[in-house]
Amino acid sequence: MKLSRVPEFDATDRAILELLQDNCKRPMAAIGQSVGLSAPSVVDRIHKLEEAGVITGYVATVDARRLGKDVTAFIGVAADAPSAIGILERDIADIDDVLECHHVTGAHTFLLKVKLENTQALESLIARVRGLAGVKATETLVVLSTAAERTRIPLDSRDEFVARPLRRSGGRARGGRGR
């Protein structure tokens, strides 16, 4: 297994990531003001974070219940053979109601997170998953309530961010000489 090197990011990069995770529609000038950079400098840093694969996209977080998806469940799926894992990953990824699919250790091969309209839709989805080639068994856990559900990734706070005064362009005092 090849381990990828994690790029180093400074406190300003982490502060920008925190602000974007909080609200990715925040104006670049507002982010710049918070971190002590100009808007173009913030855009440059964000572009570097995108190029490094740290920022993978921008999405709207929606309330599933307000969209009629009232049932959340976790489905443990056991594969009948290790050779079925790759095919199952692809087949499960094609099911729109599966929000997450994790290859896990323990009694199950995969753990799926789903959100559906009702228990009838859940039953139908379970039947569909059980019908996939390579599925040996499933076990479903229906969520009664959710205390915490987030997409925010907590960032390492190795060094605290201290906002710098916003830099102005030009850099030199009038008269062409620095003081």
Q: What percent of the chain has pLDDT over 70?
A: 83
Is the separation of the CB atoms in 144 and 16 below 8 Å?
Answer: no
Q: Considering the domain 11-51 in this protein, what is its CATH number?
A: 1.10.10.10
Q: Which residues of the chain have pLDDT under 50?
A: 1, 161-162, 167-179
DSSP string of 103-163, one letter each residue: E-SSS-SEEEEEEESSHHHHHHHHHHHHTSTTEEEEEEEE-S--S----PPPPP-SS---P
Instruction: Tell me what pLDDT residue 157 has.
Output: 55
Q: Count CA atoms closer than 13 A to 172's CA, side-chain side.
A: 5
Alpha-carbon span 165 to 34, nearest angstrom: 9
Q: What is the pLDDT of residue 6?
A: 60
From the list 65, 85, 68, the residue with the least C-alpha distance to 77 is: 85
Q: Where are the domains of the chain?
A: 11-51, 65-142
Strands (E), 35-109: 71-79, 98-103
φ, ψ of residue 89 to 5 degrees: the values are -55, -45
pLDDT tens column, 10-34:
999 999 999 999 999 999 999 999 9
Q: Is 89 exposed, middle or buried (0-12, 13-18, 19+ CB in 10 A)?
A: middle
* pLDDT tens, position by position, 90-103: 999 999 999 999 99
Q: Which fold has domain 65-142?
A: Alpha-Beta Plaits (3.30.70)
Point out which residues pair with 73 in neighbouring strands.
114, 142
pLDDT of residue 176: 42
